[in-house]
Amino acid sequence: MASVENRLAVDLCGIELDNPVIPASGTFGYGREFAELYDIDILGTFSFKGTTKDPRLGNPTPRIAETPCGMLNAVGLQNPGVEKVISEELPNLAKIFHKPVMANVSGFSVDDYVYTCKKLDKQPQVGWLEVNISCPNVHGGGMSFGTDPSAAAGVTRAVKAVTAKPVIVKLSPNVTDITEIAKTCEDAGADGISLINTLLGMRIDLKTRRPILANTTGGLSGPAVFPVALRMVYQVAKAVSVPVVGMGGVFSAEDVLEMMMAGAAAVEVGAANLVDPFACKKIIETLPAAMDKYGIGTLKELKG
């Protein structure tokens, strides 16, 4: 029988991962807090906090609201900016994580994306650039890049022109046909697609009769979104030939297997890290038993 390491290994855009489990951007910071709890080298990789060209304080509070089977967040890309990430966060990361890391990038214009990706592409620790195109495009009337095929293609093409590392485009689920956006990104040169980002939602405080979130709306994550995420991963994996990274409500080893059966090459774990900081460690440790239960020899044979 193959060793545990070999059984769990997967390939993501030409880079081999020891296992498919990847903490999702925004739920794992830059790794420091989690490294105090366990050896984060057990992870396949992780996607670090969404990084923008300039520092951002994020949205006003309250920024989190609980919902049945999930949570709403409107943090607003709080981060120190790319220069500080390169000068401070990455050197600290090198001490605690000894594998290629996924750099998550957000922007408010094509120029923002190009600037940040070009900088991070030169960093030896960065294995992949995960380009989040579900942020508002302030230069295009407030439309999200990720909801407009031509805007999505424009960002993808521009980033690919200044980078050498694999570019994985992260898609918004808040669209009519996610396969159209995915195919457009693939045609523009994307090396991979990751999905889904959060679903747009809101809650109202019955006492104040006002939205709970200061931002009014926020992104819904957690187990509530898993069936939607699984459906979209399945559709996109059938529509494109590049690798797909699945995410959205993944809380268990069984969820990881389901995502991979739907076509995911690797799986990101988001809200689960906020509920239990050991979530990813537990998922990795219980994957072999879950595979045994369902007669799965290696994860590489499972995809799709």
The SS3 of residue 268 is strand
pLDDT in tens, 177-189: 999 999 999 999 9
CA–CA distance, 190 with 120 (Å, rounded to integer): 17
Q: What average pLDDT is seen over the chain?
A: 94
Tell me: pLDDT of 277 over 80: yes
pLDDT in tens, 283-292: 999 999 999 9
- How confident is the model at residue 144, as a pLDDT? 78
Full-model pTM: 0.95
CA–CA distance, 283 with 69 (Å, rounded to integer): 19
Q: Which of 13, 69, 117, 135 is catalytic?
A: 135
Q: Is the peptide bond before 62 cis (omega within 30 degrees of 0)?
A: yes
pLDDT in tens, 95-129: 999 999 999 999 999 999 999 999 999 999 999 99
Confidence of residue 302 (pLDDT cuts 50, 70, 90): confident
Contact indicator for 99, 45 with CB cutoff of 8 Å:
yes
pLDDT in tens, 14-39: 999 999 999 999 999 999 999 999 99
185 is catalytic: no
Tell me: pLDDT of 238 over 70: yes
Please tell me the number of Cα atoms within 13 Å of 89 on its side-chain side. Answer: 23
- How confident is the model at residue 1, as a pLDDT? 41
Q: What is the CATH number of domain 4-57+77-198+222-301?
A: 3.20.20.70
Instruction: Give the bridge partners for 192, in sequence order.
Output: 168
CA–CA distance, 95 with 139 (Å, rounded to integer): 39
Tell me the pairing of strands 244-246 and 266-269: parallel
Confidence of residue 140 (pLDDT cuts 50, 70, 90): low
Confidence of residue 303 (pLDDT cuts 50, 70, 90): confident
pLDDT in tens, 61-91: 999 999 999 999 998 889 999 999 999 999 9
pLDDT in tens, 46-55: 999 999 999 9
- How confident is the model at residue 136, as a pLDDT? 61
Please tell me the number of Cα atoms within 13 Å of 285 on its side-chain side. Answer: 8
Percent of the chain beyond pLDDT 90? 90
pLDDT in tens, 1-15: 455 558 999 999 999
User: What DSSP string describes 76-142?
Assistant: ---B--HHHIIIIIHHHHHHH--S-EEEEE--SSHHHHHHHHHHHHT-TTEEEEEEE--SB-GGGTT
The SS3 of residue 212 is coil
